[in-house]
Amino acid sequence: MTATVEVAAPGRTYPVHVGGGLTGRVDELLGAAPPGARNAAVVHPPSVARHAGAVAASLGRLGLAVHRFEVPDGEAAKRLDVVAELYERFAAVPMHRPDPVVAVGGGATTDAAGFAAATWLRGVPLVNVPTTVLGMVDAAVGGKTGVDLPAGKNLVGAFHQPLAVVADLDTLASLPAAELRSGLAEVVKAGLIADPALGDRVAADAAARGLAGAAALAGGVAWLAPHIEAAIRIKARVVGADEREASLREILNYGHTLGHALERLAGYEGLRHGEAISIGMVFAARVAELAGVAPEGIADGHRALLAAVGLPTGGVPYGPDEVLDAMAGDKKARGGIRLVLLREPGRPEVLPAPDRPVLVEALRAVAAP
């Protein structure tokens, strides 16, 4: 079964297709190549070469000359020099304005390839084919593209909505359990900000399948389908109401102010995005308690929920000064750190950060693993 979620963003309305066996059907799902297109650039890391091959063959059936370009795996793709190399390869084709860029891979790939598409010839068509849970529920949907700098994560980027997103659940079957857990952090986040029952369902299913400790999942990945679809629907609603993060869309950054700071301090290595966001959500919940925004117990509720999925809820190895300096570089900062906090699950609000002693105490709460 294939589900289709419509993202009705002001810049473009487009479908997100979710189901099995979709990488070989991209031509059917698109229906036709963009008018005037003659080429397609399939951008992918080496780890998903097989899936990229299926996508390339599918695009060939639309009459396009398909060119495959590899980028590094993971966060190493999100560098300006990687995007600059893509520009040179696009120029060598040459890629013209109707020619689509097709990103096949995880969130780092769709971010980097999407930024290349947004800026090549001032914008060419983009199709995202995410192959991770994180990519499906977050990075590939909503039009955010970008790369990292030493000064911070995603500081250079553009809003560029895709023509379509094709989320083939079969691509998740070979993911390590740690990568599935990392992606589920964004699903739990979607539940915490908009549908608390979703987080509970994910935690229950993850626990039933031994995700918290097993090297391999029992029962495959079909159980993920309704959770992924639900998280995409939440993001679609938010993006439809606020495409460019002027107000409401900032709630999607729950846990990200600390999470992005931790990723930066780790040098974008050794700490997965979802792991950092998991710790960031516990931190935000503790801040909300200490500041009187939320009742006592919300942080413990977060810890129980995230631990059931096998995600970390602490273990920050950096001092408060170092962490707070890194947090000050967050994109939401407006004359100071701003945080997404929950008054209760399902009731997020973007607020100025409380005084430093509150933040330091909340950081101490996530210092121990």
For residues 270 and 249, give the distance between their C-alpha atoms in angstroms, rounded to a whole number. 28
* Number of domains present in the structure of the chain: 2
Candidates 275, 308, 281, 306; CA nearest to 294 is 281
Tell me if 279 sits within 8 A of 259, measured CB to CB: yes
Q: Token pair for residue 48?
A: 């998903």
For residues 191 and 292, state if they share a domain. yes
Establish if 138 belongs to a structural domain.
Answer: yes
Residue of 181, 189, 209, 249 with catalytic role = 249
Q: Token pair for residue 161?
A: 């909505």
Residue of 235, 286, 331, 338 with catalytic role = 235
Q: Tell me what pLDDT residue 303 has.
A: 98
Tell me if 102 sits within 8 A of 82, measured CB to CB: no
For residues 193 and 152, state if they share a domain. no
For residues 311 and 260, state if they share a domain. yes
CATH number for the domain harbouring residue 69 = 3.40.50.1970
Q: Tell me what pLDDT residue 191 has.
A: 98
Establish if 177 belongs to a structural domain.
Answer: no
Residues contacting 85, CB < 8 A, separation 6+? none
For residues 111 and 189, state if they share a domain. no
Establish if 178 belongs to a structural domain.
Answer: no
pLDDT digits (tens, 9 = 90+) for 139-172: 999 999 999 999 889 999 999 999 999 999 999 9
CA separation (Å) from 314 to 236, 242, 300, 343, 365?
Answer: 30, 32, 12, 21, 8
Q: Tell me what pLDDT residue 220 has.
A: 77
Examine the fold and report which residue of 151, 172, 193 is the final residue of a domain before the chain moves on. 172
Residue of 25, 227, 256, 331 with catalytic role = 256
pLDDT digits (tens, 9 = 90+) for 39-80: 999 999 999 999 999 999 999 999 999 999 999 999 999 999
186 is catalytic: yes
pLDDT digits (tens, 9 = 90+) for 279-308: 999 999 999 999 999 999 999 999 999 999
Residue of 122, 269, 296, 334 with catalytic role = 122
Q: Tell me the whole-structure pTM to 2 decimals.
A: 0.95
For residues 36 and 95, state if they share a domain. yes
Examine the fold and report which residue of 172, 201, 219 is the final residue of a domain before the chain moves on. 172
User: Domain range spanning residue 195?
Assistant: 183-365
Q: Tell me what pLDDT residue 161 has.
A: 98
260 is catalytic: yes
Burial of 215 (0-12, 13-18, 19+ CB in 10 A): exposed
Q: Is the pLDDT of residue 185 over 60?
A: yes
Q: Are strands 347-352 and 338-344 parallel, antiparallel or unpaired?
A: antiparallel
For residues 356 and 321, give the distance between their C-alpha atoms in angstroms, rounded to a whole number. 10
Establish if 107 belongs to a structural domain.
Answer: yes
For residues 194 and 268, state if they share a domain. yes
For residues 271 and 16, give the distance between their C-alpha atoms in angstroms, rounded to a whole number. 28
For residues 196 and 315, state if they share a domain. yes
For residues 105 and 192, state if they share a domain. no
For residues 123 and 201, state if they share a domain. no
Examine the fold and report which residue of 148, 172, 196 is the final residue of a domain before the chain moves on. 172
296 is catalytic: no
Residue of 253, 289, 302, 331 with catalytic role = 253
249 is catalytic: yes
Residue of 17, 25, 51, 144 with catalytic role = 144
pLDDT digits (tens, 9 = 90+) for 205-262: 988 888 876 544 556 788 999 999 999 999 999 999 999 998 899 999 999 999 999 9
273 is catalytic: yes
Tell me the average pLDDT across 109-119.
98
17 is catalytic: no
Residue of 179, 245, 275, 289 with catalytic role = 245
154 is catalytic: no
Establish if 56 belongs to a structural domain.
Answer: yes
For residues 162 and 13, state if they share a domain. yes
302 is catalytic: no
**Cα-trace Rg, the chain:** 20
